[in-house]
Amino acid sequence: MSKALGLVEVRGYVAAVEAADSALKAANVTLIGLEKIKGGITTIKIIGDVGAVKAAVDAARASVESLGTFRTAHVIPRVDSQVEDLFFEGHKKSQEVSIESSSEKRDTKDKEKTETPVKKKEEALVK
C-alpha cells in the first residue's frame, strides 16, 4: 500500500472538527479519526495519496491557524508496513464489520416485511 499518513494537532475539539472539515473538502482523503489527548489537544488522522494528504494537511493548517489553535502537522509519505498496521488495520476492520452488520439488518427487516402480511392473510382466510 502506497498511502500517506497525515497528522494535524490542534488545541480544542471545535478546532479539530474545523481542521478535519477543511482537509476533507480540500482533497480526496479519508479521515481515520480524531484522537483526543490530555490537555485539550486533539490529533486529526487522515490517509490518502501523498499529494492529496499534503494538500489536505496544508488546508487544515491554514484554517486552524486563523483560529489560533494550531500546534503542529506532519505528513508521512509511503508509510512503513509496521506503522501501516498500527493506523490502517483498525480502520479496515471497522469498515468490514459495519458493512456486514448493515446488510444483515436489511435482510432481516426485508424478511419480516414480506412474511408478516402473508401470515395475516392466511389467518384471515382460516377464520
Distances (CA, A) of 14 to 17, 18, 22, 81, 87: 5, 6, 12, 32, 23
Grid coordinates belonging to 29 = 482523503
Could you say which architecture CATH assigns to the domain 4-79? Answer: 2-Layer Sandwich (3.30)
Query: Among all chains, which residue has been given the C-alpha cell 506503522?
Result: 83
Instruction: Note the pTM of the prediction, 2 decimals.
Output: 0.65
Residue boundaries of the structural domains of the chain: 4-79, 85-127
Q: What's the pLDDT tens digit per position in 47-105? A: 999 999 999 999 999 999 988 999 999 999 987 777 777 766 655 544 443 344 444 55
Which has the higher per-residue pLDDT, 20 or 112?
20
The span from the CA of 6 to the CA of 27, in Å, is 12
